[in-house]
Amino acid sequence: MKLRQLKLNQCLACGCIFFFFIMILKFTSSGCDLDTAIQTGDLNIEHCRDHYYKALNLSASGSKNCAKIIEGDLEEVRLALIDNLDIKKRKVMTNDTEYIKLTKDCTTFKKMKKYVLFSMSNEERNYPIAFSMVIHNDIEMFERLLRSIYAPQNIYCVHVDRKSPDTFHQAVRAIASCFDNVFVASKLESVVYASWSRVQADINCMEDLLNSTVEWKYFINTCGADFPLKTNAEIVTALKSLGGKNSMESEAPTAPKKARWEYHFEVKDYVVRTDVRKDPPPLNVPIYSGNAYIVITREFVKSLFVTDFARDFMNWAKDTYSPDEFLWASLHRVPWIPGSFPQHRKYDTSDLIALARLVKWGGHEGDINHGAPYSECTGKHRRDVCVYGSGDLQWLLQQHHLFANKFDPKVDDHVIQCLEEHLRFRTFYGHFM
């Protein structure tokens, strides 16, 4: 009798354990179907985080170990750099026509490319950001950049150079058509290097973004050779920390740069200096040196269209050389422009201090132990700017900047793939791999 009771108790215990196991299994998997969750809006991210990450991770291809490359493992970096030399191993880039075909079914396209189609937190959902993306070629790099910064609460204006091939225009519009918050600028420019047209491309997007229904907080401009160093959550945190201020390079100019706005320039196939000297800028405001890439408040953007001084200053700058490299930096120091900094030299800000863009200039590379601001580029140089290689990745991720420039998959796709893998992991887990 006691034996039968013991066996019965054992069976009941086993049954309870089995039932408990089934319920745990059911609980941990219920409500975590990604497609259904996106459709219903019932995401339960905390509960389903691992399930969603498994579906949306961007693991780098090949045998490279991105975690080791990020840690600066010299052997892993060496293998990645050697791999770049093997032409047979280079990634075949997806072309315009292929993207046009892929985007005929937007649902499949977004799922295949693993876009994160939901806000990761209430903080991000309530802090939308506006982006302009000024591009002219390399459709795959554009799409990968879009994927890396995409969040449904943000809004994205894409400016395509009017000179770009028709198939490129079609491919960009096809990708944009798959998203409610991505659009092509209503006015397109034929962009000439170092001319006003580069500034006008961003201004066209700014105007479109202001006319959108999204109440975005900050504007960030990008180009096709950029890639983010931070997740959307980290960008939001950085923007909030600015306290309503802008962030960009803005310094007293060197003597050679002053010729860029002291003479009238003409635009042909390229920008040509004349012997005609220009009048001083409106109100004789001081000119500061900076670059094209900026982090500015919504109020700053609004002021460009409603402030007489801003309009006059932009009109004055239209016949200068590379106005994007002084226009924003100078407006940033005008006292009545929203989010500006004082004109005193103590408020000068270098590109290494500003949030906007991290660049390795060839003329400044060297031995950090002997005073150089950064080590030598491990990729290649283009117009004296480093196109990053795998050996630059550890340094890149140690910096506070939101974006870096330049990247090119034809030079080193490993560094981009590892960034994609790393950022996607941090998007879900908030820490390094």
H or E element that contains 8: helix 2-29
- When pLDDT is averaged across residues 51-65 and rounded to a whole number, the result is 95
Pairing of strands 271-277, 263-267: antiparallel
pLDDT of 91 reads: 75
pLDDT of 26 reads: 41
pLDDT tops 70 at residue 12: no
Global pTM reads: 0.92
Question: pLDDT tier at 90 (50, 70, 90 boundaries)?
Answer: confident
Task: Tell me, yes or no, if 420 is annotated catalytic.
Answer: no
| Set 249, 251, 325, 420: catalytic member | 325
Encode pLDDT of 329-340 as tens digits.
Answer: 999 999 999 999
- When pLDDT is averaged across residues 167-196 and rounded to a whole number, the result is 98
pLDDT tops 70 at residue 194: yes
pLDDT of 28 reads: 46
Q: If you average pLDDT over every residue of the chain, what do you get?
A: 93
pLDDT tops 60 at residue 108: yes
Structure tokens belonging to residue 50: 């691992």
pLDDT of 164 reads: 98
pLDDT of 19 reads: 47
pLDDT tops 60 at residue 54: yes
Encode pLDDT of 288-327 as tens digits.
Answer: 999 999 999 999 999 999 999 999 999 999 999 999 999 9
Structure tokens belonging to residue 21: 């196991």
Round to whole Å and give the CA distance between 218 and 215: 10
- Of 157 and 431, the structure prediction assigns the larger pLDDT to 157
pLDDT tops 60 at residue 270: yes
DSSP 92: P
Pick the closest to residue 38 from 106, 105, 109, 118 (CA basis). Answer: 118
Question: pLDDT tier at 432 (50, 70, 90 boundaries)?
Answer: low
pLDDT tops 90 at residue 86: no
Round to whole Å and give the CA distance between 312 and 321: 17
Answer yes or no: are the C-beta atoms of 240 and 127 closer than 8 Å.
Answer: yes
Question: pLDDT tier at 2 (50, 70, 90 boundaries)?
Answer: very low
Encode pLDDT of 416-425 as tens digits.
Answer: 999 999 999 9
pLDDT of 240 reads: 98
- When pLDDT is averaged across residues 77-97 and rounded to a whole number, the result is 87
pLDDT of 183 reads: 98
CA distances for 209 relative to 82, 193, 202, 301, angstroms: 43, 24, 10, 10
In 10 A of CB 95, how many CB atoms? 14
pLDDT of 431 reads: 75
User: In the chain, what percentage of residues exceed pLDDT 90?
Assistant: 88
